[in-house]
Amino acid sequence: MKSNKDLVINLPLEAPIANKNKTEQTAHGVTRIDDYAWLRAENWQEAMRDPELLPTAIGDYLNAENAYCKASMQGTEDLQQQLVSEMRGRILEQDEELPVPDGPYDYCERYIEGGEHPIYYRTARGEGRSNSLAQAAKSATEEILIDINKEASEHEYFSHYLVEYSPDHKTLAWSCDTSGAEYYRMFFRDIATGCDHETVIEDVESAVWADSSTIYYTRVDENHRANKVFRHTLGTDPALDELVYHEKDDRFYCDVDRSRSGRYLFISVGTDDQDEVWFVDLNDPEAKVQLIEARSEGLEYSVDHHINQSGDNFIVLNNSGGAKDFKLSVTCTEQPAQQHWQDFQPGKPGCMIHSFEVFRDWVMWLAVENALPSIYFCGNDGEVSKLDFAEEAYSLGLDAGVEYEVSTFRYDYSSPTTPWQTWEYNCNTGEKVHLKSQVIPSGHEASDYITRRVVAQSHDGAEVPVTLLHHKETPIDGTAPLLLYGYGSYGSSVPAGFSSNRLSLVDRGFVYAIAHVRGGEEKGRDWYEQAKFERKVNSFHDFIAAANCLINEDYTATGNIVIHGGSAGGLLVGATVNMQPDLFAGVIADVPFVDVLNTIIDDTLPLTPGEWSQWGNPIESKAAYDAIAAYSPYDNVAAKDYPSMLVTAGVSDPRVTYWEPAKWVAKLRALKTDINPLLLKTNMSSGHFGKTGRFAMLEDYAFSFAFAIAVTTSAGETN
């Protein structure tokens, strides 16, 4: 294994000190003092689109922190370069994704040597159609749909989103964001000529073709909320586009999708704990949007279309009738309301149905039980089958393709030790065909690594699954450094999948651990609901319990753990380090949601109204205000010793605005009593997801990994 010796973080003599500008905020009879509220630019919406518009005082402070961070990490620059080289060596430079058959073409995606972004292309499908995705033949004729490398060549930041071809296969709708603010522009490209039309539609969130000349799309408003659905006809002025749906409740967002059958378009309107779906019959040019079931408190559902011998139906994934972990129901398209839903796959407590796919003869779904996923499917006879997997911890992805009249599907499998594999399964015969495995050019021997699943007992007796990965030569005697990752919000489960980047830590003797804390849905909806509202603190207790469990079982030792979380996972690590800072050697908080109370009480921010179903509404409820105030990392910074900390931010970030991590660091620097490194690294030209490009993003990983290695090296020397 690789050595971690001679790594230091050399702090410059003076850290940047943010000015204090006392601001008083009063709510529910409570007055709070915020010395760093000035870091929230009054023109933040403009600055999000164009960071050059950031006020000078704020820009100067962020740049000073960046310079301090760079100088502090100068001693790790050789390591960072080595890490980038290692991680790049595990990426196949020239790579082809599996073709996706659709009508007369196989649609494909590839990467070229040195290319940061994919190239989308298609080839003519071979003579004679096959229902097997694996056997779909293709000719040598190739048409480039779009080369993202060329489109991105003149931009420092470039994120593409839509790449959707029309039903007649002649026009490509594609979109991109060049600032990181997630304001996407949508273009239309003539596939035959490779030229874009003059029409450009601004601020598009999602889009789907209704027919070969009509596209439905959602657009974000000035508060970055996707609350309107428009219908555009090719060749017309977007200013004349018909407004099909307008959601006026700021808590709800709109999305558009099309059934795999091609018959219906769906407008999904939802927030975290309520859904409402409308549909349009695409066979009727005059059709208006129709409601399936009106929103109601606690009702969540999604819909797809199914045609079989019983008729024209909708399949509904829903939680009605007490099915907390969801069930599958069917209803006639002529009578789609909830009163007509008939269950065909009842809910099972603790087995969370996450997603489903519909074909002509088959319905399949992905479910998670005790932090392990499974694939189920049934035919028109109603008999349910299940695919089983043997590893102690693993991850699955369902890749169902786009065609409707097939009896095969693809799925992706990996584990912390096993690179991604793509398989095709034939529902009629039960045959499994291996299609592709992730290639690690620099080499990977799965038997060199060990994956374990352990269980930590939280403060209230809850059993928290923890997934572990370490090299077989790593001593399990309490001496190994450990990186503990967690998220724990919005019901988002952290998969136990393969990451080639992690190997750069594991090969240096780290144990890599994922704590599946409450707030995710690894153990069903109840696992998520146990960390909502005033019970959010359960996530933090679970994380601490995971750390203590790993210490007690000799995977690591107190003071030799780095905790890592991003976005709402940043809240997890931020609250945890306030509660028990002495457990840890370091904290990596990526774009962390740490100024929770100020954000959730500010209904002008993009996500805030929709967040009230997670955290409570502190504007209306004093109980919600008090609960959030009790754990909000920014509000609970205290005069005490903290471990070494690396905090990141993005000026264009619409999800966690840059001033949250900036304020947190400023307050920590003013109050903490230790001399450990506290670093703020703000990307001045990107948003929530950092650098774009498959190689460029490795620099962000390398920076964080170098920090983790350095702080645990010094902790080990101290211990």
Residue 70 has a CB neighbour count (10 Å cut-off) of 14
**455-511: pLDDT as tens digits:** 999 999 999 999 999 999 999 999 999 999 999 999 999 999 999 999 999 999 999
Residue 619 lies in domain: 448-691
Site of tokens 């050595």: 3
Boundary-marking domain end, from 110, 126, 145: 145
The Cα 491–Cα 524 span in angstroms is: 9
Confirm whether 336 is domain-assigned: no
Residue type, 167: P
**89-132: pLDDT as tens digits:** 999 999 999 999 999 999 999 999 999 999 999 999 853 334 34
Q: Which of the residues 259, 415, 504, 567 is marked catalytic?
A: 567
DSSP notation for 179-229: SSS---EEEEEETTTTEEEEEEE-SEEEEEEEETTEEEEEEE-TTS-EEEE
Distances (CA, A) of 491 to 190, 437, 624, 639: 40, 30, 20, 33
Q: How remote is the C-alpha of 556 from its chain's centroid?
A: 29
The Cα 166–Cα 173 span in angstroms is: 8
**43-66: pLDDT as tens digits:** 999 999 899 999 999 999 999 999
Q: Which of the residues 117, 414, 653, 686 is marked catalytic?
A: 653
The Cα 588–Cα 575 span in angstroms is: 13
Q: Average of pLDDT values for 671-675? A: 97
Strand residues in 360-417 grouped as ranges (E) = 362-369, 372-379, 384-387, 395-399, 408-414
The Cα 664–Cα 682 span in angstroms is: 13
Give the residues across from 110 on adjacent strands.
96, 119
Strand residues in 392-458 grouped as ranges (E) = 395-399, 408-414, 421-426, 432-437, 449-457
Confirm whether 113 is domain-assigned: yes
pLDDT for the residue 7: 66
CATH number assigned to the domain comprising residue 480 = 3.40.50.1820
Give the residues across from 646 on adjacent strands.
588, 679
Confirm whether 705 is domain-assigned: no
pLDDT for the residue 690: 80
Confirm whether 597 is domain-assigned: yes
Residue 328 pLDDT > 50, yes or no?
yes
Cβ(62)–Cβ(677) under 8 Å?
no
Confirm whether 534 is domain-assigned: yes
The reply to whether 567 belongs to the active site is yes
The reply to whether 169 belongs to the active site is no
Boundary-marking domain end, from 106, 126, 145: 145
Residue type, 628: I
Q: Which of the residues 203, 471, 688, 714 is marked catalytic?
A: 688
Region for residue 32 given its phi and psi (left: phi exceeds 0; alpha: psi -120 to 50; beta: otherwise):
beta
Backbone angles phi, psi at 56, to 5 degrees: -60, -45
Boundary-marking domain end, from 145, 171, 200: 145
Angle of CA points 395, 401, 405, to nearest 5°:
130
Number of structural domains the chain divides into: 2
Give the pairing type, strands 463-471 and 511-515.
Answer: antiparallel
Q: Which of 530, 523, 361 lies closest to 455 in space, CA to CA?
A: 523
Confirm whether 458 is domain-assigned: yes
The two structure tokens encoding residue 371: 């932090």
Confirm whether 258 is domain-assigned: no
Report residue 136's pLDDT band, with 50, 70 and 90 as the boundaries: very low
Task: Give Dmax over CA atoms of the chain in angstroms.
Answer: 77
The reply to whether 688 belongs to the active site is yes
Considering the chain, what is the average pLDDT of its residues? 94
Confirm whether 674 is domain-assigned: yes
